Amino acid sequence: MSSKKRNWKPQTALVHSGTLRSGFGETSEAMYLTQGYVYQTAQAAEARFKGEEPGFIYSRYANPTVDMFEKRMCALEGAEDARATASGMAAVTAALLCSVKAGDHIVAARALFGSCRWVVETLAPRYGIEATLVDGTDITNWEKAVRPNTKLFFLESPTNPTLEVVDIAAVASLANSIGARLVVDNVFATPLQQKPLQLGAHIVVYSATKHIDGQGRCLGGVILSDKKWIDENLHDYFRHTGPSLSPFNAWTLLKGLETLPLRVRQQTESAGKIADFLAEQPQIARVIYPGRADHPQAEIVKKQMSGGSTLICLDVKGGKQAAFALQNALDIVLISNNLGDAKSLITHPATTTHKNLSDEARAELGIGPGTLRLSVGLEDTDDLLEDIAQALKAAK
Ligand SMILES: Cc1ncc(COP(=O)(O)O)c(C=O)c1O
């Protein structure tokens, strides 16, 4: 079905693209919970293994339900090819490790999700891959960090949790000028609000656990790039190391994609209103929201994002005690370190997602004792505003 028409708008592509309908003509995508595949003859098995006949071989390599998810993600992202993974971290790790070898050098923005930073700072050097972390908001820092053996740039934008925005086109252009590749973790923007491949990035990764599922059910991830890079760099890694996505989770994520535009639109609209409300509260020292004119990189946001994001970063006056009091007083908004969910979630990065960083590294990223990250859900906006208002009052 997907091969008939290619110029669908995202909302249509997310309902129909990639569908592999079986002979039963099912409406909803089928869930192929199978590890292996049966061949009519020994000759057919041989031909399939030789690549002379199309078809599935083993679900560590590929599976029809996972294939549907990958094709739908390609349609959304405008990518030639994709590989789905068991989690977002499996996607990030594969994208990074398959882009470099011992002796190569990575330049990454220092504002990264804690586990991504661990992969770059701690795991990669064990295999002879050096990394330099820079303040990614200034392109001159990227330029200064380049070495003759720099092969990869890595960034997240907006960043977790302080919603720093990096100029993707500028870093991509630097990468191209030295023959390196740029990997962008696009989780916070979602595939709808930012298109890294169009901005010049070479590889895009997602934690599908977040907005793509969007209903707190399963883990997943995806890597998108050109077909040549995937064939030459990811293909064998996937076959032999097995970070594969389960068909059950792929099916859940496919259903998530159908409603992604509706959810992200509603969550972003609420987030904008909540950010404006928070910015006026005397208990709040700072609100960082990409959709506001006072965002530190507002000009870059305008250039590369088509929406303000579903996340808000805020600093509560009074440090950890005040931030904890506010979280504990919330009724609808739940305390959880996840994000992109239908349920509004709040977390204190210094003691949760970014607790493994030193105080100094946290301060560099602007994560203070009073910093909170709010992921806005699908609840009624007025109910959320009322909940936050009553919590601020109770926490005074
Ligand atoms: C920006 C970012 N990248 C990657 C990940 C990892 O995703 P997962 O939890 O699906 O492994 C997360 C998870 O919080 C994230 O926020």
Mutate to test the pocket of ligand 1, among 85, 87, 89, 157 (most ligand atoms within 8 A of CB): 89
Residues sharing a CB contact under 8 Å with residue 95, sequence separation 6 or more, in sequence order: 183, 203, 205, 223
Q: Tell me if 233 CB under 6 Å of ligand 1.
A: no
Residues sharing a CB contact under 8 Å with residue 165, sequence separation 6 or more, in sequence order: 137, 157, 158, 159, 290, 295, 296, 297, 300, 301, 304, 305
Which numbered atom of ligand 1 lies nearest the CA of 208? 10
pLDDT in tens, the chain (396 residues): 444 556 899 999 999 999 999 999 999 999 999 999 999 999 999 999 999 999 999 999 999 999 999 999 999 999 999 999 999 999 999 999 999 999 999 999 999 998 999 999 999 999 999 999 999 999 999 999 999 999 999 999 999 999 999 999 999 999 999 999 999 999 999 999 999 999 999 999 999 999 999 999 999 999 999 999 999 999 999 999 999 999 999 999 999 999 999 999 999 999 999 999 999 999 999 999 999 999 999 999 999 999 999 999 999 999 999 999 999 999 999 999 999 999 999 999 999 999 988 999 899 999 999 999 999 999 999 999 999 999 999 998
Task: Tell me the residue length of the chain.
Answer: 396
Which pLDDT score, from 0 to 100, does residue 6 have?
67
221 beta partners: 85, 207
Can you tell me the distance from the alpha carbon of 335 to that of 163, in angstroms, rounded to the nearest whole number?
A: 19
**Helix residue ranges per DSSP H, 185-297:** 190-193, 227-229, 235-241, 247-279
Residues sharing a CB contact under 8 Å with residue 283, sequence separation 6 or more, in sequence order: 316, 317, 318, 322, 326, 392, 395, 396
Distance set, CA 182 to CA 13, 25, 104, 166, 187 (Å): 26, 41, 14, 12, 15
Which pLDDT score, from 0 to 100, does residue 17 have?
94
Q: Tell me if 88 CB under 6 Å of ligand 1.
A: yes
Which numbered atom of ligand 1 lies nearest the CA of 92? 4
Domains and CATH numbers, the chain: 8-255 (3.40.640.10), 260-395 (3.90.1150.10)
Structure token digits, residue 138: 């200034």
Q: Tell me if 164 CB under 6 Å of ligand 1.
A: no
Can you tell me the distance from the alpha carbon of 177 to that of 149, in angstroms, rounded to the nearest whole number?
A: 13
Q: Tell me if 187 CB under 6 Å of ligand 1.
A: yes
Can you tell me the distance from the alpha carbon of 141 to that of 67, in angstroms, rounded to the nearest whole number?
A: 39
Q: Tell me if 184 CB under 6 Å of ligand 1.
A: no
Number of neighbouring beta carbons within 10 Å of residue 319? 15
Which pLDDT score, from 0 to 100, does residue 396 have?
86
**Residue carrying the six token digits 């023959």:** 179
Number of neighbouring beta carbons within 10 Å of residue 323? 25
Can you tell me the distance from the alpha carbon of 353 to that of 207, in angstroms, rounded to the nearest whole number?
A: 15
Closest CA to 133 of 329, 337, 357: 357
Distance in Å, CA 247 to ligand 1 centroid: 20
Can you tell me the distance from the alpha carbon of 370 to that of 180, in angstroms, rounded to the nearest whole number?
A: 38
Residue whose CA is at the smallest distance from ligand 1 atom 2: 113
Can you tell me the distance from the alpha carbon of 345 to that of 332, in angstroms, rounded to the nearest whole number?
A: 9
The amino acid that residue 131 corresponds to is A
Q: Tell me if 221 CB under 6 Å of ligand 1.
A: yes
| pTM as predicted | 0.96
Which pLDDT score, from 0 to 100, does residue 1 have?
44
